[in-house]
Structure 1
Amino acid sequence: MTDTMIGVIGGSGLYQIDGLDGAEWVKVDSPWGAPSDEIFCGEVGGVKMAFLPRHGRGHVHSPSTVPYRANIDALKRLGVTDVISVSACGSFREEMAPGDFVIVDQFIDRTFAREKSFFGTGCVGHVSLAHPTCPRLSDACESAAKSAGITVHRGGTYLAMEGPQFSTLAESKMYREIWGCDVIGMTNMPEAKLAREAELCYASVAMVTDYDSWHPHHGEVDITAIIATLQGNADKGRAMVKGLPALLGTEREACPHGCDRALEFAILTAPEARDAALVAKLDAVAGRVLS
């Protein structure tokens, strides 16, 4: 058994959460650089919670410049056990309407300008991403969303694009009709990959703001309409987050899906061949298997 600590990474429109007891902004140093912002730490119902605004307060980071490795490393250093990503997205499905939430369970990664792994030359590691989100944590997010009166869809494939521009019409149609994606966003990759490498349970809650550009009656993405929907989604996101501590409890057992043991057989570099400097940087992420 370990103490539960919920880490929430808030996306566009969700820059703070309310109702945390003993809350304070905490600076966390990471060998992977500075995180997006300080981390807002407190408790809800006796359960520890840490909130990190993905783009920083004031929205200073673009999707490509978000320090994903530093963010995940900082949360792990704080003692976070479960990470919930809350992010804005476009929808490729009529039934997944603006204002709805989608509990994502698969990703297609189309990003190309980001560091995607903690491992590399001198310490090579390979983790499984066949199932990139944690079903146990996704169950909790679904229940909390429903309890908050939110229309929520369970399961969906998230197309992660580089951005910062939105899709062309041709791209939008391809992702929807040929690739079979359900939602599109710019930030869940490499975040989900890094959470798996850090042996953190990860769930993705995509808050629909628009229909991308494929919809014949909605036309191109309008940022003013997105912002209006974001404001309503942010309130819903905060309501969902407040319901998570009661569902997850103050103590947790080992993840039944093995998320917290993802590195068990992942490190391939022989101990005598490992780069000492890289191993030192991996102390929080992979210390369990490297020590």
Structure 2
Amino acid sequence: MPQKIKIGIIGGSGLDNPDILKNASTKSVDTPYGKPSDVITLGQIEGVDCVLLARHGRNHGIMPGNVNYRANIWALKNEGCTHVIAATATGSLQEHIKPGDLVILNNFIDRTQGRKQTFYDGEKNHPLGICHLPMEPAFCERTRQLIIQTAEQLNFSVHKTGTVVTIEGPRFSSKAESKMFRQWGGDIINMTSVPEIVLAKEAGLCYALVALVTDYDCWKDNKDEHVTVVDVLATFKKNVTKVTKVIMGVVPAIAKEDWSKTIDELQELVQNSIMK
């Protein structure tokens, strides 16, 4: 019998509108890792069960380094989610990736500092063992491809691959850092994808991320194109409906497929990565 699908949706800055869900209701939850960023919102998109969570809280009061990523992912897993579609606002590190474009990520470079990246930390009431989890591929390829197809059907400018550099924040990069990240092969930059992606995979969830490009960071020599909060928010507001439409479109597409083999293989990978 096919695996019952339930899709977690993690919204970043402004990408957490509960109006996308029908029959919505909120629920306060707790986890062995503390409370998630906010209540979770339960509902449906075209009859598919979904769980929405605001990464920074509904009032955007949690800075990137203080997000309880472990509690967020655990809450979605505990609620029965099989997939997570996450959204993030990002800066571009490449000329051809323009503000307003969508990037469906397939890799990452971690520049965060001290964030907890595993559920298997040896603490009381946490899972036993040490998880040496392979991170290639980092994202669920099947889910990525469905998102790409959905974005193309909507005629959005979409980049089918991309490497995100995740920095600690909350400050933006210096120009020297921004240029260095370009040399490393980074395509876009944000502050939240790690450890979210790592924890989602460790939890056995099919995770993919839709990145909305809002700016060119600060690597360009043109002084008028240095990233600012004002410019980011302006571009974001003009383009955020693209992300919403992609999510609304891909959820029923995911639910139409049989994911039993994909989920079983992912969970087997996690179990085989644990040393006890």
What is the letter of the counterpart of residue 249 of structure 1? A
Question: Which residue pairs with 2:125 in the alignment?
Answer: none
Contact 2:18–2:24 (Cα < 8 Å) also in 1: no
Aligned residues between the structures: 268
After TM superposition, the score normalised by the length of structure 1 is 0.88
In structure 2, distance between residues paired with 1:159 and 1:173: 12
Question: Which residue pairs with 2:137 in the alignment?
Answer: 131
Question: Which residue pairs with 1:90 in the alignment?
Answer: 91
The answer to whether structure 1 residue 146 and structure 2 residue 147 are counterparts is no
In structure 2, distance between residues paired with 1:88 and 1:46: 28
Change (3 A) 1:181 1:255: farther
The answer to whether structure 1 residue 194 and structure 2 residue 199 are counterparts is yes
Change (3 A) 1:35 1:138: same
Question: Which residue pairs with 2:25 in the alignment?
Answer: 24
Q: Which runs of 5+ in 1 are unaligned?
A: 270-291
Return the offset for 1:146. 2.2
Contact 1:47–1:250 (Cα < 8 Å) also in 2: no
Contact 1:3–1:251 (Cα < 8 Å) also in 2: no
Question: Which residue pairs with 1:274 in the alignment?
Answer: none
Runs of 4+ in 1 over 4 A off after TM superposition: none
Q: Which runs of 5+ in 2 are unaligned?
A: 123-127
Contact 1:100–1:208 (Cα < 8 Å) also in 2: yes
Question: Which residue pairs with 2:70 in the alignment?
Answer: 69
CA offsets 1:24-53 (integer angstroms, 9 cap, x no match): 112222111010111111112221111111
In structure 1, distance between residues paired with 2:109 and 2:139: 13
Return the offset for 1:250. 5.4
The answer to whether structure 1 residue 10 and structure 2 residue 15 are counterparts is no
Change (3 A) 1:240 1:246: same
Return the offset for 1:253. 2.5
The answer to whether structure 1 residue 261 and structure 2 residue 268 are counterparts is yes
What is the letter of the counterpart of residue 114 of structure 1? R
Return the offset for 1:246. 2.3
After TM superposition, the score normalised by the length of structure 2 is 0.92
The answer to whether structure 1 residue 58 and structure 2 residue 48 are counterparts is no
| RMSD of equivalent CA atoms | 1.5
Change (3 A) 1:123 1:90: same
Aligned with residue 170 of structure 1, among 152, 173, 176: 176
What is the letter of the counterpart of residue 229 of structure 1? T
What is the letter of the counterpart of residue 275 of structure 2? L
Change (3 A) 1:238 1:17: farther
CA offsets 1:160-179 (integer angstroms, 9 cap, x no match): 10000000000000100x20
Question: Which residue pairs with 1:285 in the alignment?
Answer: none
- 1:91-106 counterparts in 2 under 5 A? 91-106=92-107
In structure 2, distance between residues paired with 1:163 and 1:245: 31
Return the offset for 1:255. 4.6
Contact 1:201–1:260 (Cα < 8 Å) also in 2: no
Higher mean displacement: 191-200 or 224-233: 224-233
The answer to whether structure 1 residue 204 and structure 2 residue 209 are counterparts is yes
CA offsets 1:139-195 (integer angstroms, 9 cap, x no match): 11112222333211000110010000000000000100x201100000000001001
- 1:180-191 counterparts in 2 under 5 A? 180-191=185-196
Q: What secondary structure is seen at the aligned counterpart in 2 of 1:230?
A: helix
Question: Which residue pairs with 1:228 in the alignment?
Answer: 234
Question: Which residue pairs with 2:251 in the alignment?
Answer: 245
Contact 1:4–1:250 (Cα < 8 Å) also in 2: no
